[in-house]
Amino acid sequence: MKFTEKMWLIFKYSFKDMIRAKWIIVYLLFYLLLGFILLFLNNDLSSSVITIMNIIIILTPLIGTLFGVMFYYNSREFTELLIAQPIRRSRIFMGQYLGVSLSLSLSLVIGLGLPFLIFGLANSAEIFNFIMLIFIGMALTFSFTGLSMWISLRNSNRIKGFGYSVLLWLFFAVIYDGIFLSLLLIFENYPIDQFSLLMSMLNPIDLSRILVLIKLDISALMGYTGAVFQTFFGSNWGIVISGIMLLLWMTTPAYMMVRSSKRRDF
């Protein structure tokens, strides 16, 4: 798919729309406040990075989900109008999707980047961990905005669309890990290390958490006796594989959304 002039127009429109909607400003202010308060209370960049990880991997998917759904249903009339024009559907929806997710990512980058820069991130050893954290936050935003827009496209009932999207977030953020833990405990007598790595690859939130853990909490993870974990967490393989999986999680929802937009009967 080419980034054409028309797609650029739609992207610009969606982006401006998001900023005009004020919510994005609230989101930005929230991150600014969070960053400043955390660093003010803590004054220690490395432990703040860990705290922020907890917030990012829960909050960015939720915000991505909510904004994706809200944007889709709010601009539905306009979208239908656009569809009547000689523009390819894929460009319309791709433009909207990029507008929403990029504006959200921008809030994240500015909102957390500014306080950390002021508190001396540039001269700190934590800068790479922080950049990775921001990238993970962006990936999750893209992934969950795509997922929620895809769900909204498939449900014309906005209550249903909203419900499913939030449920999906709840599933990935909480329920999935509950099932995961139960499975691990039930099958504890079997070799389950490969299985457990696979399970964590299949959930973007777990995947992001693992990526951060490899960088930050490696000491605890290394305590596990097992060759599979050793190679995964001890070498760069873990980062490479999880990075590729996260990339897949970023692109697949968008692809699915565009695909179902072509089939949808408006």
Partner 1 sequence: MSRFLGILTCLMISASVFGQIEVCSDCQFKTVPSAIESASPHDTVLVHKGIYPIHNMVITKPITLRGLNRPVLDGEDKGYIVKILSDSVSFTGFDIRRVGISHTEDYAAIYSFRADYLEISDNHLEDVFFGIRLEKSSNVVVKDNIVKGRFSREFDSGNGIHLWHCKNARVEGNDLSGLRDGIYFEFVDDSYVIANRSHHNTRYGLHYMFSNDDDYLDNYFYNNGAGVAVMFSKNIKMINNRFSHNWGTSSYGLLLKEIYDAEIKMNLFEKNTVAISVDGSSRIYYRNNDFIQNGWAIRVTGGCYVNQFTSNNFISNSFDVSYNSKLNDNLFQGNFWSSYSGYDIDRDGWGDIPYRPVKLFSYVVNRTPETIVLLRSFFIDIINFSERVTPVFTPDNLMDDQPSMKKIKW
Question: Where does this chain bind partner 1 (CB under 8 A)?
Answer: 46-47, 50, 53-54, 57-58, 173-175, 177-178, 180-181, 184-185, 188, 192-193, 196-197, 199-200, 206, 209-210, 213, 217-226, 229-230
Q: Closest CB to partner 1 among 47 and 156?
A: 47
Q: Closest CB to partner 1 among 139 and 214?
A: 214
Q: Closest CB to partner 1 among 84 and 185?
A: 185
Q: How far is the CB of 184 from partner 1 (least distance, A)?
A: 5
Q: How far is the CB of 138 from partner 1 (least distance, A)?
A: 20
Euclidean distance between CA atoms 132 and 215, whole angstroms: 9
Q: How far is the CB of 241 from partner 1 (least distance, A)?
A: 13
How many other CB atoms are there within 10 angstroms of residue 60's CB atom?
Answer: 27
Q: How far is the CB of 209 from partner 1 (least distance, A)?
A: 6
Q: Closest CB to partner 1 among 76 and 215?
A: 215
Q: Closest CB to partner 1 among 193 and 256?
A: 193
Q: How many helices (H) and strands (E) does the chain have?
A: 13, 0
Task: Report CA-CA distances (Å) from 239 to 9, 216, 217, 246.
Answer: 36, 12, 14, 10
Q: Is 1 exposed, middle or buried (0-12, 13-18, 19+ CB in 10 A)?
A: exposed
Q: How far is the CB of 129 from partner 1 (least distance, A)?
A: 13
Which of these, 53, 236, 207, lies nearest to 133 by C-alpha position?
A: 53
Q: How far is the CB of 62 from partner 1 (least distance, A)?
A: 11
Q: How far is the CB of 123 from partner 1 (least distance, A)?
A: 20
Q: Is 190 exposed, middle or buried (0-12, 13-18, 19+ CB in 10 A)?
A: exposed
What three-state secondary structure class fits 188? coil
Q: Closest CB to partner 1 among 167 and 175?
A: 175
Structure tokens at 120: 């001396």
> DSSP letters of 86-154?
SS-HHHHHHHHHHHHHHHHHHHHHHHHHHHHHHTT-TTSTTHHHHHHHHHHHHHHHHHHHHHHHHHHHH
Q: Closest CB to partner 1 among 50 and 241?
A: 50
